[in-house]
Amino acid sequence: MQETKKGLEGIVALDTSISFIDGMQGILKYRGLAIEQLAEMSYDSVSYLLVNGMLPNDQELAAYSFRLKTERRINGEMIDIMRVCNYGTEALDSLRTAISCTAQMDHENDNNSLEANKNKAIRLIAKLPTMLAALYRCKKGETPYLPDDNLSHGANFLYMLRGEAPSAIEAEAMEKDFIISAEHELNPSTFALRITASTLADVYSAIITGLCTLKGPLHGGARKGVMEMLDEVGNPENANAYVLHKLASKQKIMGFGHRVYRTGDPRSRIFKEMARRLADEKGDPTWYEIAESLEHAMYREFLEMRGRPMYPNVDFYSGVIYKYLDIPLELATSVFAIGRVSGWTAHCFEQYMDNRVIRPRAHYV
Ligand code: CMC
């Protein structure tokens, strides 16, 4: 039996044409296009790219966006379910129930053809923001807002949370967050759902697998952890002491470190600039300044203690952006999922198209 690798570090498990990472140079591409370029597009274009393998032309994009908009609405039965499956501190617990119910109501649920699965992908991409906003409104005992077809994917989500259209920069920030969160090769949730897909289970089952795996604080749950940390630190002057205390007591600091990136996470650079612009626009530098102080303290301490710096990952400055967008804490991980769902569905299709069940071995001790 071969030697085992804890956490499967460095193991190459499969071929993919969906995304590419160069961890030394800090490069991330979706389908051959750098995320810096994708960040300037619409989420509709990027989700089309992920699901269909190429960017849409103008006509294809118009048709796809129209289709997504017509699929945004959820029915009254779903709203009734949402009123019952109220969440506690984590909306994701209810979102996964809502996706299960959507699957049962989907007339193509048992149809595993590529066409049916692409329809399911469109329904999931379109409906997830509506479901999450509706869960939030129901939790507060309020009536969900209907989606606004005049707004982009990101702007519409913020509108459905608040009942008023966001400012231009808020809409841009939400759209960028969904784009940059959309795909990341074999991260834990994507690997988990590819295993589910490899048994030829349906798309909804695979997506729920991904959603559940995203929840943990070592993965997507870190975004919520970052928001909590910003509150706890409260002031840029407290950042250094906070870092020293956490490291001395061997606790992880949320939003830092990565298995693959060794010289910094390119997604974090895009989010940092977006967070800075939001801070400027809102005339409130507090969250940004706390974050920058934490970043500097982590860099310094790791360099001093271990001879190598520590960089923020995707969840760090996106947590700062969520603070500026007033995203409720209990929604943070689910908001990540809204962006990631297009990458997840793309991985389901890739698995189905060249499938062999994923079944590694364990070393018996
Ligand atoms: N705070 C303090 N120490 C850290 C951190 C951190 N955020 N990240 C890594 N380290 C230390 C860790 O304690 C370990 O030290 P030692 O060798 O003394 O045990 C060393 O650095 C290597 O870390 P690791 O945990 O073995 O690395 P990994 O590749 O297994 O895990 C990670 C990667 C992202 C899970 C980890 O860095 C971590 O737990 N970060 C905090 C949680 C977080 O931000 N998660 C989001 C991940 S990226 C996006 C996403 O998936 O959502």
For ligand 1, say whether the CB of 220 is within 6 Å of any of its atoms.
yes
Q: What digits encode the pLDDT tens for the residues 164-198?
A: 999 999 999 999 999 999 999 999 999 999 999 99
pLDDT band at 85; cut points 50, 70, 90: confident
CATH number of the domain residue 287 falls in: 1.10.230.10
Ligand 1 near 257 CB (within 6 A): yes
Domain hosting 60: range is 27-211+338-353
How far does the centroid of ligand 1 lie from the alpha carbon of residue 252, in Å? Answer: 7
Report whether pLDDT(2) > 80: no
Supply the residue whose CA is at minimum distance from atom 19 of ligand 1.
250
Position 159 pLDDT exceeds 90: yes
Helices (H), the chain: 35-38, 43-52, 58-70, 76-84, 92-105, 114-139, 153-162, 168-180, 188-198, 203-214, 222-233, 239-248, 266-282, 286-306, 314-324, 332-353
Residue 242 shares a structural domain with residue 182: no
Judged against a pLDDT cut of 70, whether residue 287 lies above it is answered with yes
**Same domain flag for 204 and 227:** no
Residues 82 and 161 reside in one and the same domain: yes
Helix, coil or strand: residue 33: strand
CATH of the domain at 93: 1.10.580.10
Is 118 part of any domain?
yes
Q: What's CA 195's distance to the chain center, in Å?
A: 19
What number does the ligand 1 atom closest to the CA of 7 have? 30
Of 120, 156, 98, 175, which is closest to residue 346 (Cα–Cα)? 120
Atom of ligand 1 nearest to the CA of 314: 49
Question: What local confidence, expressed as pLDDT, does residue 110 receive?
Answer: 86
Residues 137 and 182 in one domain: yes
The ipTM (two decimal places) reads: 0.98
Question: Which residue among 180, 181, 259 is best mutated to probe the pocket of ligand 1, counting the most ligand atoms within 8 A of its Cβ?
Answer: 259
Show Cβ contacts of residue 239 under 8 Å, excluding neighbours closer than 6 positions. 233, 290, 293, 294, 296, 297
Distance 313 CA to ligand 1 centre (A): 10
pLDDT at 157 over 90: yes
| Mean pLDDT of the 286-294 span | 98
Q: Are residues 43 and 172 in the same domain?
A: yes
In a domain, 21, yes or no: no
Nearest Cα neighbor of 325 from 223, 253, 254, 240 is 223
Q: Whose CA is nearest to atom 44 of ligand 1?
A: 255
246 and 201 in a common domain: no
Tell me the pLDDT of the chain averaged across its residues. 96
* 184 and 295 assigned to the same domain: no
DSSP string, 50-86: HHHSS---HHHHHHHHHHHHHT----HHHHHHHHHS-
- Interval between CA 257 and ligand 1 midpoint (Å): 5
Whether 347 maps to a domain, the answer reads yes
Is 217 a member of any domain? Answer: no
| CA–CA–CA angle 223, 179, 236 (5° rounding) | 35
Q: What is the pLDDT of residue 1?
A: 66
